[in-house]
Structure 1
Amino acid sequence: MTKIFLSGHRDFGNRGCEAIVRSTVDIVRKAIPGAEFVVPSTNIERDRALWPEAEGYGVTFSDCLRQSVPMRVFGKARKRLDWLNNRYPPLRPPADARRLIDDCDAVLAVGGDNYSEDYSLPFMPVMLDRYAMDQGLPVVLWGASVGPFERSKGYEEFMARHMRRYSMIHVREARSESYCKEALGVSRLRRFSDPAFALVPQTEGLFELGEEDCIGVNLSPLILGKLGDRAESFIRELVLALKAAHEQHGFTVLLLPHVMSYQGPNDDRKALAKVKSGLDSEGVANVAVTDEINAAQIKGLIRRCRVFMGARTHATIAAMSMGVPVISIGYSVKATGINEMVFGHDRFVVDYRQLESAGLVARINEVLEANEAVAGESVREKLRVDAEGAGESLRELVRPRSGAQEADRSSGTNGQAE
């Protein structure tokens, strides 16, 4: 039986991560029937509640990423001493993670944009992937946007060396493909659609919306943090645009979080609460989703929208994959790259730094009227099939274990996932 460890993943607090894991499991099991998966989780109880059928798909959640004191010390030091990021950490991954990786046949480095500078620089993913590489396992960077690494020349050179060690890199858009080839010198590289294009929406257990058409809205607190003192003005312009859409088209505003963190400030509900307050003040009908619904259910809600605008990548991918007209509130190159892949242009990407109400209203009206704002059925099917092609690529890299190795695994010689 083929067993795969998913590195680069922490939990389902970000429903984009959940969408990647769910769809990756489906894609791989179509190519490698019966494949099993070890999925790290810092909150197993919550992740099981969001995906109660996971075990039936060969998924075992494992709390295997607990950092030792030296890891925590080094993690803090690298944020202050930038040169520490230009080399592999002088540490091994947690013992539980090493044991689980040793018992696997391959590692998929998921997460979408771990290897970029959109968030904090990757630390645990680098350690996990390096360890698996050193053990001779196939390690595939899966469904990724990569770079650009502009922090320093030294960091880009380190990332280039690391990227060239992957057995294969699957990028999800052309900009990352070009960057990997031209700047990083990667040769083992293929491009596939983001795996979440294959995620099946779920409609069971959702609250009922009224008969009115909805405009779906997702907003990330990351954008408000980047804007600083201009965040209040951004919210005001967004509210005025939604008010105009309500008056012109009768839209009810559906406020949809896509990251519902278990702790910390990175929770979309906090940003959307500010939008709701503004809409309430303007008398605009709105519905705020605050329940802990899963990625497939969020996709089911987005399918009901007449138009959708979102900041989170996988919220917009959900809309694209179902033919819902979509506006991406872009805060990184990945939004532009994915729009170019789906539509052939980036006209429906709005730079968060330049958002203003009149321009956004015009963009809403444009996507409602323009046929090219909707991924047609043939395009959507092509994206889904293309995403599933990544499974065939993986199958070519994974070598089945010998009978003796399988017997060792079954007897517990190499350890078992918890």
Structure 2
Amino acid sequence: MRIGLYGIIGVYNFGCEAIVRGACQLIRRLYPEAQIVYFTYSYDYDKKALQDLNLEIRPIELKATFWDKVQHKIKVKLNSERCGFYFDYDSIIDSIDMMFSIGGDIYTIPRFLREQTTYPYYNSLVEFCDRAIDAGKDVIVYGASVGPFGEYQKAIDYYKKNLSRYKMIICREEESVKYLNRLGLRNTCFFPDPAFQVKSLDRTALQPKYIGINLSPLSLKEIYGKHSEETYVNYAKMIDSIFESTHIDILLIPHVISKDEMDNDESFLYKLKVLTKPETQQHIYFADWKGGFLGLKPQLKECYLVISARMHCAVNAIDENIPVIFLSYSQKSVGMCKYVYGSGKWLIDLKEAPDLIVPKILEMLKNRDEIIDCLHNRNSEINRYYEDHITDLEKLLSK
């Protein structure tokens, strides 16, 4: 059996790298004889980054004329359910027997859109999976947070109708399961985020010397719709206030290195650094991201705590028993914070972070040893859950 992995642009997003790695582990447990085929838009980078995995990597080759793009844009604007693709989707679907739809925020609608009365809701991944199901292939969602879809009934109906056709929606946090159940979907279950299964070989604790910070342009776009100079200044001032209140060096942690400036953490964080005070800049360092998700682990272990907008940056630190403050801009961070800590205590809305972050940091530093003990116990529980319930998941998928 050939099982396809589809749904992400590439593993230059280190969270997507973790999902691919974790998905491969799960599939090999569930379907030991299966051949895994990963389809990517970033073939050259991904082939190198994933060379240690035993999987076939196939490039998605985009081909589109100017008029193809114009027609596609019009269809998306009209919320057409079949807008088409710029690649040969039939050849991908025909080459596999089952599809794992992978990704993190792949089935949701940004907050700034949901605040409107009507908004676009077409999702190319939904269309691709719908076509795969039409071709007789089972589709399983894995590693995702799903929803919310807002109050626009057409958007709700669109997702509800299409997601009901999937064989299973394996959500990474209970909030998504509850939300989908409230919509009437029952083809859902919970299983821990794939990133929790991507372990470093060296689990030795390191002496902390930084406060780690991950901020992303995409997260700000999700809540504001667009960036302004004032937005940059506000978050630069936040970094100033963190250093001035703690006198601990700052480690800026890029977690997505994209060609798209609106999704590139590194260039965004450099802009913020330039806007901080000169005395703060002398105490700001950048994490070396070239080793990807696994390469960041030893650097995360050098942090007293990590403040993270990117959820998989947070999970990466948590898996190393490093305390994390989640900066929330979507469903995923809310659900994951509750899953890890049992409450939303260590969660701050990203919009409110410049005003609320310092007291939260000081409280976390004061209780750091206790929180580390809690994380150590929670990580053990997560690992036990994975092992204890994988047979249940196998039975569920065999129905």
TM-score between both structures, scaled by the size of structure 2? 0.86
Structure 1 residues 75 and 15: alpha-carbon distance in aligned structure 2, compared to 1, 3 A threshold: farther
Who is 1:72 aligned against? 69
Structure 1 residues 150 and 114: alpha-carbon distance in aligned structure 2, compared to 1, 3 A threshold: same
Give the conservation status (yes or no) of the 8 Å contact 2:208–2:301.
no
Who is 2:22 aligned against? 23
Structure 1 residues 153 and 212: alpha-carbon distance in aligned structure 2, compared to 1, 3 A threshold: closer
**Residue 292 of structure 1: how far off its partner (Å):** 3.0
**Residue 279 of structure 1: how far off its partner (Å):** 4.7
Who is 1:215 aligned against? 211
Separation (CA, whole Å) in 2 of partners of 1:71 and 1:389: 49
Matching residue within 101, 108, 126 for 1:109:
101
**Residue 71 of structure 1: how far off its partner (Å):** 5.8
Structure 1 residues 90 and 49: alpha-carbon distance in aligned structure 2, compared to 1, 3 A threshold: closer
**Residue 90 of structure 1: how far off its partner (Å):** 5.6
* Stretch moving more, 333-342 or 379-388: 379-388
Q: Which amino acid in 2 is paired with 1:89?
A: R
Give the conservation status (yes or no) of the 8 Å contact 2:235–2:354.
no
Q: Where does the alignment leave 5 or more consecutive residues of structure 2 unmatched?
A: 112-119
Aligned pair 1:159/2:159, yes or no? yes
- Report Cα offsets for 1:29-49 as digits up to 9, x if no partner: 133324322111122111122
Map 1:396-407 to 2 at 5 A.
396=395
Structure 1 residues 151 and 308: alpha-carbon distance in aligned structure 2, compared to 1, 3 A threshold: same
Matching residue within 345, 361, 364 for 2:361:
364
Calculate the aligned-residue CA RMSD, in Å: 2.8
Structure 1 residues 389 and 295: alpha-carbon distance in aligned structure 2, compared to 1, 3 A threshold: farther
* Secondary structure in structure 1 of the residue aligned to 2:142: strand
Structure 1 residues 134 and 223: alpha-carbon distance in aligned structure 2, compared to 1, 3 A threshold: closer
Separation (CA, whole Å) in 1 of partners of 2:15 and 2:243: 28
Separation (CA, whole Å) in 2 of partners of 1:93 and 1:388: 40
Q: Percent identity?
A: 25
Separation (CA, whole Å) in 2 of partners of 1:330 and 1:137: 35
Map 1:190-339 to 2 at 5 A.
190-201=189-200, 213-225=209-221, 226=224, 228=228, 230-247=230-247, 251-279=248-276, 281-283=278-280, 284-289=282-287, 291-339=289-337
Q: Which amino acid in 1 is paired with 2:82?
A: P
Who is 2:377 aligned against? 378
**Residue 16 of structure 1: how far off its partner (Å):** 0.9
Separation (CA, whole Å) in 2 of partners of 1:77 and 1:390: 45
Separation (CA, whole Å) in 1 of partners of 2:389 and 2:128: 21
Give the conservation status (yes or no) of the 8 Å contact 1:7–1:128.
no
Q: Which amino acid in 2 is paired with 1:192?
A: F
- Report Cα offsets for 1:319-374 as digits up to 9, x if no partner: 222211101111112211111111111121111211235x3221112122333476
Q: Which amino acid in 2 is paired with 1:43?
A: S
**Residue 258 of structure 1: how far off its partner (Å):** 0.4
Separation (CA, whole Å) in 1 of partners of 2:390 and 2:91: 25
- Report Cα offsets for 1:188-227 as digits up to 9, x if no partner: 11111111111113679xxxxx966111111101244425
Give the conservation status (yes or no) of the 8 Å contact 1:202–1:297.
no
Aligned pair 1:63/2:59, yes or no? yes
Separation (CA, whole Å) in 1 of partners of 2:270 and 2:163: 40
Give the conservation status (yes or no) of the 8 Å contact 1:140–1:166.
yes
Give the conservation status (yes or no) of the 8 Å contact 2:19–2:194.
yes
Q: Which amino acid in 1 is paired with 2:337?
A: N
Q: Which amino acid in 2 is paired with 1:29?
A: R
* Secondary structure in structure 2 of the residue aligned to 1:309: strand
Q: Which amino acid in 2 is paired with 1:273?
A: Y
State the number of aligned residues: 380
- Between 1 and 2, higher relative CO (CA 8 Å, sep ≥ 6) is seen in 1
Structure 1 residues 26 and 327: alpha-carbon distance in aligned structure 2, compared to 1, 3 A threshold: same
Who is 1:414 aligned against? none
Separation (CA, whole Å) in 1 of partners of 2:267 and 2:274: 11
* Secondary structure in structure 2 of the residue aligned to 1:315: helix
Map 1:346-365 to 2 at 5 A.
346-356=344-354, 359-365=356-362
Give the conservation status (yes or no) of the 8 Å contact 1:235–1:274.
no
Give the conservation status (yes or no) of the 8 Å contact 1:276–1:288.
no
Give the conservation status (yes or no) of the 8 Å contact 2:2–2:36.
yes
Aligned pair 1:89/2:82, yes or no? yes
* Stretch moving more, 16-25 or 280-289: 280-289
Separation (CA, whole Å) in 2 of partners of 1:71 and 1:380: 48
* Secondary structure in structure 1 of the residue aligned to 2:154: helix
Q: Where does the alignment leave 5 or more consecutive residues of structure 1 unmatched?
A: 205-209, 400-418
* Stretch moving more, 288-297 or 318-327: 288-297
**Residue 296 of structure 1: how far off its partner (Å):** 1.3
* Stretch moving more, 304-313 or 287-296: 287-296
Give the conservation status (yes or no) of the 8 Å contact 1:192–1:389.
no
